[in-house]
Amino acid sequence: MPYSLLAHLFPRIRGSQEDVATYSLAYVLEQSSALNESFTRLVSKKLHISLGSMLSYNCQDADSEFGRPDIAGYKDGVLSLLCEAKFFAGLTSNQPVSYLNRLSGTENSGVIFICPRERVISLWDKVITLAEEAGLSGEKIADDCLDYSGTRMSIISWSEILSELLPTATERHPEMLGDLRQLEGFCSKIESEAFIPFNDDDFSVQAATSMDRYYQVVDEVISILKSHKELSPDTKGLRNSPRWQGYSSYIRLNGKGVSVDFLRQLWKAPTSIITPFWFKIWDVENKKWVNSDQLRRYLATIDSKYLEVLNGSTYIALVPKAYLPLEDLADDLANQILSYLNNYIYFTD
């Protein structure tokens, strides 16, 4: 699955994921005053302070006493901002306490953590806890911003930053779009492949029950499809297939082969809609399930955002509705399958 050249080359680059991302971010901020202004404005808004229109950004601005933040921002020669980038690595002993102490006494200053969107809540809770354990009590400015005796602390996701910088580049500095797309692709790849640390709730009985739901939905959809006797449903000789990345169940309907799938790999795909549930159609020729040219032509008529290819097979997205009981949810997904299947049969007539 393509991301970007930078993402492709990262395994061959010496340095951490965070180093590559922060050096890339600092580079575009240095090269473009428009992007510098946009980033500085975004961070100022998150911290609820005024950092001015632009800052001078440096990477790995080390201090023997206070550690080495990923990016430091200077306003008129005065250190005003410390940025610490994380994907899924843990915090060091300096984060966030030493950073807050380093900025202590500086007006309109702040510390901001940058991380994947999926980690914002857990990382924010962690940095607050570490500050409290060190005896630092923050005054709440917003849900994602605290004030520590005049120094603010907040958190932001990589996707928020890129959502701000990409339109700015399009309008004011299009030459930087390629570089930003490289960073966007790199972040997408790291976020999709990294190990996300557990929190306490992940080990609960509720977590185990929640995982079971996806398998229950697939089985219930198959059960509903089997009830459509007018389609001559048949599961004889077909077995469910547990996978490392999900679960699949199979049925014959109206002379076609159908799989109903829970596929985590496609759920994470950045090029299609977000859903854990998918299905696939086969033509059946001489008792063999095949991907016919006719089927490929039909799939080409479907909006590409509902399609994803995995191991050479094209799957169609099923869009689940939230807050429905199991039977109603499965019935709606089954009707989506039947709609596609009827359209295919009509397409072949």
Q: Give the pLDDT of residue 12.
A: 59
Indicate if the pLDDT at residue 2 is higher than 60. no
Ramachandran category for residue 310: left, alpha or beta (phi over 0 → left; psi -120 to 50 → alpha): beta
At 122, the pLDDT band (50, 70, 90 cuts) reads confident
Locate the domains of the chain by residue range. Answer: 5-193, 205-348
Alpha-carbon distance of 320 to 348, in angstroms, equals 28
The pLDDT tens digits of the residues spanning 246-300 come to: 999 999 999 999 999 999 989 877 667 889 999 999 999 998 999 999 999 999 9
> And the tokens for 215?
């398998």
Give the rounded distance of the alpha carbon of 231 from its chain centre.
Answer: 39
Long-range contacts of 237-243 (CB under 8 A, 24+ apart): none
The pLDDT tens digits of the residues spanning 68-116 come to: 899 999 999 999 999 999 987 788 877 899 999 999 999 999 999 999 8
| Coil/strand/helix, residue 243 | strand
